């Protein structure tokens, strides 16, 4: 049989004419046999067995239960009524619920007679309910025809309108299996199939579309998910390996005077175990002859700066310059001050370059950079300007990278003939296992330990109706000498309204905390940068007690004396943003607090976010919850990684399979880096097709 049959245009499948082909293309992106084969069902209706009520789980599959109705009632609710029937078997009870057609149902349902009910489950607390179930009296059910597992395919309004129903799609697939004789070539090697007990590819494809039973369905899903993730991992890993071979870097072969002097005499504290480990990892990269491209992840306050400094000292030890870039002027300034302080007893030349650096100073700086008199440059985007030329830039560090784009990173590369090593630091935590699997072109180091002696921040959730008490609390803290942040949401879509909220809030705070006893700063995006900096400065210096702000303060500001973070309309913030904001406090010796203010109206998801914040301050745990709530779409880097276009696997739900796929991809490449061995022929072929950008998984033999 023609091995390229899966590339046959879908219009040639019997039962699909030009009209249907057009709709399949516009609605589902399906143009070939192979793409139709990969239209996997969203869920299945399992009519092969009856479940006992005490066995029910929220699995997404519809279930079938045998029992009887013992009670029916109408429940009044805000919008209309609902009809609720109590349905029991010998193991428990569930509720059947109707919102529509209640009159007819009420008149026709029979109490205390055996029924087969069929439908999808919801769960409230500990009890299940089934909205709008299919109902059939047992005696009628037994005389009817039995259908096994029925696949339900993704659908759209237009598909149904054009008559491409679930049944039609299923028919098309039957036809496809007929024309291809259901014989699809293998994509994995024997060894993988045996050690993971995978069913063959043909069997998997057949059972994903026409499952014989639950067991075979589960096996088919596992096989296809594994395969999909395996090939994504294979691509990521080989891309990384190729980069390491191709891009030469400058090896920092010595650990010399500067690093050792600092380490032995000027470290202000003992490094945490995690900091030591991470420095070692980075040193390994810098010492090799490949260019480093590494992501350093560490929660707010985990101590990334000192790691950055020690890496820069390594660069100097090897005769190179280093630069550290921050996303805002304030941050760059803080870094500069901090580093200068740390280096004050050492002969290291360090300077600051930002948008507001004066012309004369700037010219001087440019000269020093070019003749190599300057060792470390700290700055903002200004560092990227073409006029800024280094004598020999060896290491570039980017702090809080989500504000820097790929284009800017690549500008850094051009600062030297040989690209400098690049270290990107971020406080946006990504769950460990996921991070390892997500990034193709970055290596990852993680600081997963906070310096000792940090006091946990007390986090509480308060409703707006308790505002007066919160004001009282603020007053007490100010009396103790502390400073307060009050943060308002600012979301592009509702910008005008949000500014109004911010200004209203500001006015009420000014009323509540009047001059001359209280000094208040305000910072928001509509202010001129100069005014922003001025207000920020006053707060940093302790001249003002309260900082009212939008999320512009989210990144990096360090005011150890600020010990209270009030977040207004906290329900409108995402988890990672809340976590970042909270990280602004808890930086000094005093007990710190975070107060999440909300209205009473909260969605379930918002409630979960708030509860998570109150429960934990572990950034990785928070990231894990966030990922479950929102999916991976917003994580940086996921766009390029191909993990968003998965057809069947889900990187959150199928995290275990992902881990195993990664493990086996590493093993496979270790044993056969170029996939040349005969036993890996299938893997090589599949890989080659995938990397040609063709969306076919395999072909028919």
Nearest residue to ligand ADP on Cβ basis: 303
Q: Please identify, using beta-carbon distances, which residue of 536 and 610 lies nearer to ligand ADP.
A: 536
Give least dist CB 302 to ligand ADP, A: 4
Q: Which helix or strand (DSSP H or E) is residue 476 part of?
A: helix 467-479
Residue 379 structure tokens: 């700055």
Q: Please identify, using beta-carbon distances, which residue of 298 and 429 lies nearer to ligand ADP.
A: 298
Give least dist CB 335 to ligand ADP, A: 9
Core vs surface per residue 320-359: b (16+ CB within 10 A) or e: bbbbbbbbbbbbbbbbbeebeebbeebebebbbbbeebee
Give least dist CB 558 to ligand ADP, A: 6
Give least dist CB 640 to ligand ADP, A: 26
Give least dist CB 273 to ligand ADP, A: 9
The contacts of residue 403 (CB under 8 Å, 6+ apart) are 327, 328, 555
Dist. CA 373–CA 386, nearest whole Å: 19
Q: Please identify, using beta-carbon distances, which residue of 84 and 271 lies nearer to ligand ADP.
A: 271
Q: Please identify, using beta-carbon distances, which residue of 300 and 700 lies nearer to ligand ADP.
A: 300
Give least dist CB 334 to ligand ADP, A: 9
Give least dist CB 239 to ligand ADP, A: 29
User: Could you list the residues that contact ligand ADP (CB under 6 A)?
Assistant: 269-272, 275, 298, 300-306, 427, 451
Dist. CA 1–CA 318, nearest whole Å: 62
The contacts of residue 293 (CB under 8 Å, 6+ apart) are 243, 421, 422, 441, 442, 443
Residue 50 DSSP one-character state: P
Q: Please identify, using beta-carbon distances, which residue of 172 and 330 lies nearer to ligand ADP.
A: 330
Q: Please identify, using beta-carbon distances, which residue of 453 and 678 lies nearer to ligand ADP.
A: 453
Dist. CA 121–CA 214, nearest whole Å: 18
Dist. CA 13–CA 21, nearest whole Å: 9
The dihedral built from the CA positions of residue 434, 435, 441 and 443, taken in this order, carries a sign that is negative
Helix ranges, 5-101 (H) = 18-28, 33-37
Dist. CA 575–CA 619, nearest whole Å: 10
* Strand, helix or coil for residue 159: helix
Dist. CA 295–CA 283, nearest whole Å: 14
Give least dist CB 79 to ligand ADP, A: 47
Tokens 């190599």 correspond to what residue? 372
Give least dist CB 286 to ligand ADP, A: 20
Give least dist CB 190 to ligand ADP, A: 47
Q: Please identify, using beta-carbon distances, which residue of 217 and 324 lies nearer to ligand ADP.
A: 324
Q: Please identify, using beta-carbon distances, which residue of 399 and 535 lies nearer to ligand ADP.
A: 399
Q: Please identify, using beta-carbon distances, which residue of 269 and 463 lies nearer to ligand ADP.
A: 269
Q: Please identify, using beta-carbon distances, which residue of 298 and 379 lies nearer to ligand ADP.
A: 298
Give least dist CB 589 to ligand ADP, A: 11
Residues shown for the chain: 701
Residue 328 structure tokens: 């805002």
Q: Please identify, using beta-carbon distances, which residue of 273 and 514 lies nearer to ligand ADP.
A: 273
Q: How many CB atoms lie within 10 A of CB 280?
A: 10
Q: Please identify, using beta-carbon distances, which residue of 34 and 379 lies nearer to ligand ADP.
A: 379
Residue 262 structure tokens: 């600092």
Give least dist CB 276 to ligand ADP, A: 9
Burial of 676 (0-12, 13-18, 19+ CB in 10 A): exposed
Q: Please identify, using beta-carbon distances, which residue of 41 and 303 lies nearer to ligand ADP.
A: 303
Q: Please identify, using beta-carbon distances, which residue of 219 and 304 lies nearer to ligand ADP.
A: 304
Residue 632 structure tokens: 């991976």
Q: Please identify, using beta-carbon distances, which residue of 114 and 301 lies nearer to ligand ADP.
A: 301
The contacts of residue 205 (CB under 8 Å, 6+ apart) are 37, 182, 184, 220, 224
Instruction: Residue 315: name the closest of 271, 379, 254 by CA.
Output: 254
Give least dist CB 672 to ligand ADP, A: 40
Dist. CA 585–CA 580, nearest whole Å: 10
Q: Please identify, using beta-carbon distances, which residue of 201 and 304 lies nearer to ligand ADP.
A: 304
Tokens 């660069």 correspond to what residue? 315
Dist. CA 522–CA 534, nearest whole Å: 10
Dist. CA 188–CA 341, nearest whole Å: 57
Dist. CA 461–CA 567, nearest whole Å: 10
The contacts of residue 387 (CB under 8 Å, 6+ apart) are 366
Residue 535 structure tokens: 């207000």
Give least dist CB 425 to ligand ADP, A: 7
Quick one: how far is CA 149 from the chain centroid?
A: 34
Core vs surface per residue 394-407: b (16+ CB within 10 A) or e: bbbbbbbbebbeee
Burial of 108 (0-12, 13-18, 19+ CB in 10 A): exposed
Residue 632 DSSP one-character state: G
Contact 286, 421 (CB under 8 A): yes
Q: Which helix or strand (DSSP H or E) is residue 340 part of?
A: helix 329-342
β-bridge partners, 86: 71, 95
Q: Please identify, using beta-carbon distances, which residue of 151 and 556 lies nearer to ligand ADP.
A: 556
Give least dist CB 305 to ligand ADP, A: 3
């Amino acid at each position: 049989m023609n091995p390229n049959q899966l590339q046959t245009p879908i219009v040639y499948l019997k039962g699909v004419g030009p009209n249907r082909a057009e709709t399949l293309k516009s609605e589902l992106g399906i143009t070939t046999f192979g793409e139709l084969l990969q239209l996997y069902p969203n869920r299945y209706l399992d009519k092969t067995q009856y479940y006992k009520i005490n066995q029910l789980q929220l699995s997404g599959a519809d279930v079938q239960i045998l029992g009887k109705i013992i009670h029916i009632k109408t429940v009044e609710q805000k919008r209309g009524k609902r009809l609720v029937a109590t349905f029991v078997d010998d193991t428990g009870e569930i509720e059947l619920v109707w919102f529509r057609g209640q009159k007819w149902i009420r008149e026709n349902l029979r109490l205390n007679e055996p029924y087969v009910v069929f439908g999808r489950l919801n769960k409230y607390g500990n009890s299940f309910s089934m909205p709008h179930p299919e109902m059939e009296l047992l005696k009628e059910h037994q005389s009817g025809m039995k259908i096994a597992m029925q696949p339900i395919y993704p659908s759209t309004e237009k598909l149904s309108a054009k008559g491409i129903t679930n049944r039609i799609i299923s028919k098309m697939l039957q036809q496809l299996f007929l024309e291809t004789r259901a014989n699809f070539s293998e994509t994995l090697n024997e060894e993988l199939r045996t050690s993971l007990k995978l069913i063959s590819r043909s069997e998997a494809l057949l059972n994903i579309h026409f499952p014989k039973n639950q067991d075979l369905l589960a096996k088919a899903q596992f096989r296809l998910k594994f395969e999909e993730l395996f090939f994504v991992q294979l691509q990521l890993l080989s891309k990384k390996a190729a980069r390491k071979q191709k891009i030469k870097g400058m090896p920092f072969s010595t650990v010399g005077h500067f690093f050792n002097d600092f380490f032995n005499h000027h470290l202000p504290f003992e490094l945490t175990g995690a900091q030591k480990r991470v420095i070692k990892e980075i040193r390994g990269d810098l010492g090799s002859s490949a260019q480093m491209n590494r992501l350093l992840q560490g929660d707010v306050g985990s101590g990334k700066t000192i790691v950055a400094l020690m890496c820069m000292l390594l660069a100097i030890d090897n005769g190179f310059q280093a630069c550290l870039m921050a996303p805002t002027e304030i941050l760059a300034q803080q870094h500069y001050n901090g580093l200068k302080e740390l280096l004050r007893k050492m002969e290291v030349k360090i300077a600051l370059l930002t948008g507001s650096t004066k012309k004369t100073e700037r010219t001087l700086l440019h000269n020093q950079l070019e003749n190599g008199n300057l060792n470390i440059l700290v700055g903002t985007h200004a560092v990227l300007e073409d006029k800024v030329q280094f004598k020999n830039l060896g290491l570039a560090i980017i702090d809080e990278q989500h504000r820097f784009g790929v284009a800017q990173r690549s500008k850094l590369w051009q600062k030297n003939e040989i690209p400098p090593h690049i270290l990107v630091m971020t406080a946006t935590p990504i769950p460990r296992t996921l991070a390892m699997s997500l990034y193709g072109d970055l290596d990852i180091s993680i600081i997963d330990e906070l310096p000792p002696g940090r006091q946990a921040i007390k986090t509480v959730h308060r409703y707006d109706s308790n505002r007066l008490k919160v004001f009282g609390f603020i007053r007490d803290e100010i009396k103790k000498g502390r400073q307060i942040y009050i943060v308002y949401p600012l979301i592009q879509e509702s910008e005008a309204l949000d500014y109004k909220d911010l200004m209203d809030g500001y006015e009420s705070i000014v009323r509540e905390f009047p001059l001359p006893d209280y000094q208040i700063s305000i910072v928001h995006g509509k202010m001129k940068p100069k005014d922003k900096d001025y207000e920020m400065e006053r707060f940093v210096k302790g001249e003002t007690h309260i900082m009212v702000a939008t999320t512009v303060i989210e990144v990096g500001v360090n005011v150890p004396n600020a010990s209270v973070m009030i977040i207004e309309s906290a329900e409108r913030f995402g988890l990672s943003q809340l976590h970042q904001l909270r990280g602004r406090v808890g930086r000094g010796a005093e007990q710190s607090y975070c107060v999440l203010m909300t209205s009473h109206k909260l969605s379930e998801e918002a409630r979960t976010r708030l509860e998570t914040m109150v429960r934990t301050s572990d950034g990785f745990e928070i990231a894990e919850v966030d990922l479950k709530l929102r999916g991976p779409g917003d994580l940086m880097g996921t766009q390029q990684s191909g993990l968003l276009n998965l057809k069947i696997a889900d990187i959150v739900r199928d995290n275990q399979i992902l881990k195993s796929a990664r493990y086996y991809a590493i093993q496979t490449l270790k044993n056969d880096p170029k996939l040349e061995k005969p036993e890996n022929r299938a893997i090589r072929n599949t890989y080659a097709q995938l990397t040609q950008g063709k969306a076919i998984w395999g072909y028919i033999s």
